Amino acid sequence: QVQLEESGGGLVQAGGSLRLSCAASGRTISAGTMGWFRQAPGEGREFVAGISLIRSLVYYTGSVKGRFTISRDNAKTTVYLQMNSLKPEDTAVYYCAADGSGVVGSTASSYNYWGRGTQVTVSS
């Protein structure tokens, strides 16, 4: 089992920045891929960014390319999401996810482990 805990959410004005962290514990060797999803009220869970911890490849959804950066620490137990130039439409609960495949999937069903989420609110 892999446990994931997000932190770093909050309220920020449009144009501002936040950095989310996701700390993995437990059988972290099982986490070959880690990703970030978000879910706005009344919407489905949307893929934001993912990183293969095995191949060091990263992927982003189009709406965040050039604004968000996903990275990991050398121990591969913490993944970060640096969010710059935030927009009101980025407002959502952000979830960290992990799975063992090493392949970055863009659907929620690709991931076996989930954190509880952290709220990000961007005011206009």
What string of H, E and C letters represents the secondary structure of the chain? CEEEEEECCEEEECCCCEEEEEEEEECHHHCCEEEEEEECCCCCCEEEEEEECCCCCEEECHHHCCCEEEEECCCCCEEEEEECCCCHHHCEEEEEEEECCCCCCCCHHHCCEECCCEEEEEEC
- pLDDT tens sequence for the chain (124 residues): 889 999 999 999 999 999 999 999 887 666 789 999 999 999 999 999 999 988 889 999 999 999 999 998 877 789 999 999 999 999 999 999 998 888 899 999 999 999 999 999 999 9
Check residue 116 and give its pLDDT: 97
Check residue 29 and give its pLDDT: 64
Check residue 38 and give its pLDDT: 98
With vertex at residue 73, the alpha carbon angle to CA 67 and CA 74, rounded to the nearest 5 degrees, is 135
Check residue 56 and give its pLDDT: 80
Check residue 30 and give its pLDDT: 65
Check residue 100 and give its pLDDT: 83
Two tokens at 90?
């980025």
CA-CA distance, 45 to 95, in Å (whole number)?
9
